[in-house]
Amino acid sequence: MASEAAIHHGACLCGAVRYRVAGPLAPVVACHCTLCRRQTGHFLASTNVAETDLALEGVGHVRWYAASEIAERGFCGTCGSVLFWRRPGSGRIAIAMGGFDKPTGTSIDRHIFVADKGDYYEIADGIQQFPGDD
């Protein structure tokens, strides 16, 4: 059983969806693909966990959108907060970092799909970058 220190809590903007993750959070991936930029208004920073480590409250407020042939994006149907990204059947789920309470104990590990990034910003943090997915 995970210790209290290894439990991470988060929520959407309105609080209709709340979640907790047991165990440490994986290093953050910053995705600059066109789909993530269109959904979030910038880029998506997320961690990836086993679906079995994620406990949801307010699951009835989560809406799933099949954004491509391989992935679904989850958001709060009440306030519109970006929450999740998953490949159905994979057993894993990406969770947007912005909804987590601090401290998260993790940081950005890599930037992906930088070939698709917006032309209005530069990535100058010195963290590894990949033109597509890694």
How many CB atoms are closer than 10 A to CB 21?
Answer: 23
Neighbours of 121 (CB within 10 A): 10
CA neighbor of 90 nearest in space, from 60, 52, 61, 63: 52
Q: Is the pTM of this model over 0.85?
A: yes
Q: Are 118 and 37 in contact (CB under 8 A)?
A: yes
pLDDT value at position 3? Answer: 42
Q: Which alpha helices (H) appear in the chain, and where do they start and end?
A: 34-40
Provide the pLDDT for residue 1: 43
Q: What phi-psi label fits residue 117: left (phi over 0), alpha (psi between -120 and 50 degrees) or beta?
A: beta
Q: Which domains does the chain have, with CATH numbers?
A: 4-116 (2.170.150.70)
Measured in whole angstroms, the distance separating CA 133 from the mean position of its chain's CA atoms is 15
pLDDT 10s per residue in the chain (134 long)? 444 458 999 999 999 999 999 988 999 999 999 999 999 999 999 999 999 999 999 999 999 999 999 999 999 999 999 999 999 999 999 999 999 999 999 999 999 999 999 999 999 999 999 999 87
* pLDDT on residue 5: 54
pLDDT at position 134 is 72
